[in-house]
Amino acid sequence: MNTATILTEKLHTFINELRLAHFNIGVTQFIVAQNLILSLAKQGKLPPQLAQLKTLLAPVLCHSPKEQQEFEWRFNNFG
């Protein structure tokens, strides 16, 4: 399994956790986040760990300052 696939699987699990926490994340946001990972992989710029994607994923998955704060906490404690 390649790094992009592993990160995408972890991302899926994390997004489901956010949804359970009442983040308003739809299919569109999931696809944008997944495409971000795949695009970085295609360019050879994919970080080896999901944690290094936090600043890129937050604007895609958060809709308010409150969600951004909670996102950071949840992201740092994920896994």
Residue 10: the pLDDT is 86
Instruction: Specify burial of residue 73 (Cβ count, 10 A radius: 0-12, 13-18, 19+).
Output: exposed
pLDDT confidence band for 41 (50 / 70 / 90): confident
- pLDDT tens by residue, 14-35: 999 999 999 999 999 999 998 9
Q: Which two tokens stand for residue 65?
A: 């300052």
Domain count, the chain: 1
Rounded to whole angstroms, how far apart are CA atoms 66 and 60? Answer: 14
Residue with the bigger pLDDT between 4 and 59: it is 59
Question: Would the pLDDT of 8 be above 90?
Answer: no
Question: What residue numbers bound the domain in which 16 lies?
Answer: 3-76
